[in-house]
Chains A and B, each alone.
Chain A
């Protein structure tokens, strides 16, 4: 079935630099620097990226960072917990807006 998302497109990411090479070079340099070992380890950064990939619901990122997490030594239990963290934040973000709902409702209600 035709789909907008094709796994074989993921390795073509760098082709995005064809029309704007300077911007692409700067972006990929920054990207690679972000994911190198720093105060956080490469493994920890990959887990964060995996969680964010689920938040932004990017199939390419989920594919790439699932593999990256495994290759950095994380296991499925840790990766599942990372997805729960993002689910909690997303769910919590909705729920906390209930306060706004309550404020409006309280103002309007007797």
Chain B
């Protein structure tokens, strides 16, 4: 799809809400639950919406046309200063495709002294294109690679992420294995992320992880450390696909039907802060996609003296049912 089409799809107006879905807050109330912050252990940094893929499940509408919404050097400096003030346990770098932001190596090098763990979310094909430039800095700082690998089936993966992506992903996993990633004892962690390739819920985490190990090992001799299995959030391009295919109402009802009160305690938004490419703060990347600022107002990372206060309420909307469905989203 050309970049122009990507812009056109963003401008298409979408219905804001499905009438039959109870507000997330009222579902929490019904279960006597509140969703408030704990101590922030993770800072997620969204380097921008530029991506080399146009995935149909992307909640951010990321794609090749989004060249303006990417973190600049001044914002990066403010983000690193915030990490220095807060000393988060984990820095989680995401996008778009963060590899396409030329400042990624600088970010890793500058933030590494202030955190014991850096994670990079990768769609694999963007990493493949920037392998020479990035591999040295990733290995020297022990950056954990969290790679998208939605399905063990070529047709399903290519339908979600684009033609040829399955083969590219396999090739890139082989390249990462060859450099020590995904093997025990190397200290180079390679985790995979699987998303359903349609309007259905994800499989049981343990069972699908076992199957990924078995199939990737048997068929391609590939190794990885862990698989994380997440439902798709009805936002951005995925929401548009759900509406276009007549799946939107049924999908939301499915998420609501799968609401698991026990998942609330461990939700990722409770212990992380998400920083957008322009330096503003959100409770999570889905709220970033939805434009729901942390505390309901625009706060720049440079204004924050320390981490968000434990006990502060978390902004919610109907997409929060995604993370509260089944075993949750951590």
Are A and B subunits of one complex?
yes
User: Contacts of A70 on B, CB cut-off 8 Å?
Assistant: 196, 198, 200
Task: Determine whether B162 belongs to the interface, using a CB cutoff of 8 Å to chain A.
Answer: no
Chain A's closest residue to B212 (CB) is: A73
Question: Judging by beta carbons under 8 Å apart, are A75 and B156 in contact?
Answer: yes
Q: Tell me the total A-B contact number using a CB cutoff of 8 A.
A: 35
- Which size class do A's interface residues fall under? 10 to 19
Task: Determine whether A93 belongs to the interface, using a CB cutoff of 8 Å to chain B.
Answer: no
In angstroms, Cα B206 to Cα A37, docked, is 12
Contact of B200 among A37, A42, A67, A78 (CB under 8 A): A67
Tell me how far the C-beta of B152 lies from the nearest C-beta in chain A, rounded to whole angstroms.
Answer: 7
User: Contacts of A54 on B, CB cut-off 8 Å?
Assistant: none
User: Contacts of A73 on B, CB cut-off 8 Å?
Assistant: 152, 203, 207-208, 211
User: Contacts of A37 on B, CB cut-off 8 Å?
Assistant: 207
Task: Determine whether B109 belongs to the interface, using a CB cutoff of 8 Å to chain A.
Answer: no
User: Contacts of B207 on A, CB cut-off 8 Å?
Assistant: 37, 41-43, 72-73
In angstroms, Cα B210 to Cα A41, docked, is 11
Task: Determine whether A71 belongs to the interface, using a CB cutoff of 8 Å to chain B.
Answer: yes
Chain A interface (Cβ < 8 Å from any Cβ of B): 37, 41-43, 67, 70-73, 75-78
Can you identify 27 A-B contacts, CB atoms within 8 angstroms? A41-B207, A42-B204, A42-B207, A43-B203, A43-B207, A43-B211, A67-B200, A70-B198, A70-B200, A71-B196, A71-B200, A72-B203, A72-B204, A72-B207, A73-B152, A73-B203, A73-B207, A73-B208, A73-B211, A75-B153, A75-B155, A75-B156, A76-B153, A76-B155, A77-B153, A77-B155, A78-B153
Chain B interface (Cβ < 8 Å from any Cβ of A): 151-153, 155-156, 196, 198, 200-204, 207-208, 211
